[in-house]
Structure 1
Amino acid sequence: MYKKSSENMKKYILILLSFYSSFIFSQKAESHRLNKQEISERELENTTNFPIYRAFEFSDKSGVYELVLGENQKVISKKDTLNTKIQAVCVINDHGGLLDQWKINDLLEDTLPKETNIWFWTKYCSTKDIDGDGYIEPIIVYGTRNEDGYIRRVKIITVYKKKKYVIRAIECDFDNCRSFEKDQNWNTLPQKIKLYVNQLTEKMRKEQDVLLKNG
């Protein structure tokens, strides 16, 4: 009787484990932008050093994540809000606690003409499962503008398996001061992700009148 009960318990546990495993591995990769109330409910205000400009929640096979984009809003006027520093923070929601996964920090560079603003280009940022593996690959895009009103720097950062793959571009009227560089590890990304970022880059060229090229 005891042996039979023990065997039934083992079967029950195996069924539960199988169900849990199926649930985890069939979980869809999903993402949505958080509103102010949701930001407050998730207690995200202290995850970044700066005021929150945008926040997103995304979930995939590895868990539920919060992505917070902060800008320091150094100069605020009716006409413009100018930033000297930005910070992106990704945390995992672990049983009610928030654990840091990765961060991106940047600030204005001392250049001529002088850089006066740095901002997240959220129109081109994304939190999608690009290659269909069940995990989301965040893409963070930001730029800087100089005192003449022209875009100077653009960065496109792809986060794949918690590693950053960066494209750095400097816009300039002259060939010798213009650049467009991909990290050395760029070609290790899956082909679908590289294709997506290349298409994103082309879209930015067309919509923003930026060159994003060498020389």
Structure 2
Amino acid sequence: MKNYILFLVLSFSSFGFSQKVESYRLTKEEIKEQELDQVSDFPVYKAFTCADKSGVYNLLLCENQKTISKKDTLNTKIQAICTMADHGGFLEKWRINDLLESTEPKETNIWFWTKYCTTKDLDGDGYIDPVIVYGTRNENDEIRRVKIITVYKNKKYAIRAVECDLDVCRSFKKDANWNLLPQKIKTYVDHLVVKLRKEQNLLLKDG
């Protein structure tokens, strides 16, 4: 833990001077060494160390791994936690919680879609703008819900979509505060939606 705090101090000085924005994925060994596996009640699926003008912090993607088999791992709950080291402990900046919904057909898995997540500075202001993407599948192995949550200045801006064969149960909604985001970030997320439609054969639309 002491080595980790020293890393934070040195990194903060370096990044604070150059205002460089960087992030990298942590190994399982680094997660355990830095005691990040103690932050959430769930196993850490993936973790990233990020550095920008605000300092050095960690983004943890946690899944409760309710059912584990050789074929698949099924989750009923997930958490995304942004935390900084603070006096030997951790200071939480923000958190995302979600879980399976009662639906018909029944939802059976919720997971982070990490290939579509990002920890980049999307608008060039020197701060990382995390985009967290996750989805759910039902018992027919169909994608039911997709959520895209953008965190800008520690506030969350979400797109919530429900996939369905029938118009009446299909939806695609942006939060009321969506237009408060910088245009560069909105453009990035709009392109991400197009990419999800194309690569995952999703509708992602209202009705």
Counterparts of 1:161-200 in structure 2, within 5 Å, are 161-200=153-192
Q: Does the aligned pair in 2 maintain the 1:116–1:144 contact within 8 Å?
A: yes
Structure 2 counterpart of 1:111, which letter? T
Distance of 1:210 and 1:22 partners within structure 2:
43
Distance of 2:25 and 2:188 partners within structure 1:
21
What secondary structure does 1:101 align onto? Answer: strand
Are 2:60 and 1:77 equivalent residues in the alignment?
no
Task: Decide which structure has the larger Cα Rg and report it.
Answer: 1
Are 2:26 and 1:34 equivalent residues in the alignment?
yes
1:29, distance to aligned residue in structure 2 (A):
0.6
Matched with 1:150 is 142
Distance 1:22 1:120, change over 3 A: closer
Matched with 1:43 is 35
* CA distances 1:57-98 after superposition (whole Å, capped 9, x unpaired): 100011001011111111111111100011111102346542
- The alignment's TM-score, normalised by the length of structure 1, stands at 0.88
Are 2:120 and 1:128 equivalent residues in the alignment?
yes
Distance of 1:58 and 1:132 partners within structure 2:
15
Structure 2 counterpart of 1:186, which letter? W
1:123, distance to aligned residue in structure 2 (A):
0.5
What secondary structure does 2:151 align onto? Answer: strand
Q: Does the aligned pair in 1 maintain the 2:15–2:51 contact within 8 Å?
A: no
What secondary structure does 1:49 align onto? Answer: coil
- Structure 1: where are the runs of 5+ without partners? 1-19
Distance of 1:39 and 1:174 partners within structure 2:
43
Distance 1:38 1:110, change over 3 A: same
- The alignment's TM-score, normalised by the length of structure 2, stands at 0.91
* CA distances 1:26-48 after superposition (whole Å, capped 9, x unpaired): 32010001001211222101111
Matched with 1:93 is 85
What secondary structure does 1:123 align onto? Answer: helix
Distance of 2:145 and 2:14 partners within structure 1:
45
Q: Does the aligned pair in 2 maintain the 1:49–1:87 contact within 8 Å?
A: no
Distance of 2:87 and 2:48 partners within structure 1:
18
Distance 1:41 1:212, change over 3 A: same
Distance of 1:27 and 1:87 partners within structure 2:
29
Q: Does the aligned pair in 2 maintain the 1:127–1:137 contact within 8 Å?
A: yes
Distance of 1:21 and 1:107 partners within structure 2:
39
